[in-house]
Amino acid sequence: MKLTLRIWRQHHRTAKGEMVDYHLDDVSEHMSFLEMLDVLNEKLLAEGKDAIAFDHDCREGICGACSLVINGKPHGGFPNTTTCQVHMRHFNDGDVVTVEPWRANAFPVLKDLVVDRTAFDRVMHSGGFVSVNTGGTPDANAIPIAKNEADIAMDAAACIGCGACVAACKNASAMLFVSAKIGQFRHLPQGKVEQLDRAKRLVAQMDAEGFGACTNTYDCEGACPKSISATFIAEMNRDFLKGNLCEP
């Protein structure tokens, strides 16, 4: 198929970017979206032009490295699908496809479609872990955990930290990501110890990074390639309030 790709080009962090049109003539429907971009980059390099920078790593939908807002939706807006798992059979001959980076103040563009997502790392450093002192290896299954609680924790832990929630939100809010990172621990006995303190720390860092606030539009939930539920945000709000109001 023939495609017109309208792609965001930006030379460096402070440069002014713009959308540039590229034409590809024989795109196979069996290609993944990233393979299609690989083909475009080979063509650009053969012409002596600068290749388009984009993030990718596992190309299996589990690492959270790939990004891209495709035709106005993060990861293209296909259910439970990251960009690397989007295949060209979803597109038609003659389509104009727009490709943009995640856009958020907290995710500055480094080059073209690559954004700096270390704001998420700093949120995690602020308390997104369970503090465990070293010692003897505990017995497996020594602490019983109810099946339904373990399931909820696993649902939250499915978050791959790609940032699609931030990209989709009209406020560039990171609340779905932060609430998933809180949610994966708060349902487990090991994580409950620091539950309220963790919520306070992560929310404080989230605010400091310049993410917006939640207006409950739930575009994040719709964009999440791992179907993280927005009810985790309600749990985070509850923990944050309880931590501030009820703790000594």
Partner 1 sequence: MRWLTNLATSSIGAKVLMALTGVVLVAFVVGHMIGNLQVFAGREVLNHYAELLQSNRGVLWAIRLFLLGSFATHVFMSSRLTLQNQAARPVPYVNQVPIKSTFTSRNMWVTGFVVLAFLTFHLLHFTVRVTHPEYQQLVEHVGPETRPDVYTMVVMGFREPVVAITYVVAMLLLGLHLSHAISSAFQTMGLNTSKYRPITEKVGPVTAVIVVIGNVTMPLAILAGKVPLPPGAF
Minimal distance, residue 21 CB to partner 1, in Å: 12
20 binds partner 1 (CB under 8 A): no
3, 36, 66, 69: residue in contact with partner 1 (rule CB under 8 A):
69
Q: Tokens in use for 21?
A: 């049109």
Rule CB under 8 A: say whether 207 interacts with partner 1.
Answer: yes
Q: Does 177 bind partner 1 (CB under 8 A)?
A: no
Under rule CB under 8 A, residue 19 binds partner 1: yes
Q: Does 8 bind partner 1 (CB under 8 A)?
A: yes
92 binds partner 1 (CB under 8 A): no
Q: Residue 2: which residues within 8 A CB-CB, separation 6 or more?
A: 23, 24, 25, 26, 27, 93, 94
Q: Does 98 help bind partner 1 (rule: CB under 8 A)?
A: yes
DSSP bridge pairs for 97: 5
Candidate ranges 103-111, 123-131, 132-140, 181-189; the one touching partner 1 (CB under 8 A): 103-111
Q: How far is the CB of 200 from partner 1 (least distance, A)?
A: 7
Which ranges in the chain belong to alpha helices (H)? 33-46, 118-125, 147-157, 164-168, 175-186, 189-192, 195-208, 219-223, 231-245
Residue 41 vs 217, nearer CB to partner 1: 217
Indicate which single residue of 4, 118, 216, 227 sits in contact with partner 1 (rule: CB under 8 A): 216
DSSP-assigned letter for residue 213: -
Write 79-84 long-range contacts (CB < 8 A, 24+).
Answer: 79/227, 80/225, 80/226, 80/227, 81/225, 82/160, 82/162, 82/225, 83/33, 83/34, 83/56, 84/32, 84/33, 84/34, 84/56, 84/58, 84/59, 84/60
Residue 219 beta carbon to partner 1: minimum distance, rounded to whole angstroms:
5
Q: Which residues bind partner 1 (CB under 8 A)?
A: 6, 8, 17, 19, 69, 71-73, 77, 98, 100, 103-106, 109, 168, 170-173, 200, 203-204, 206-207, 210-219, 221-223, 229-231, 233-241, 244-245, 247
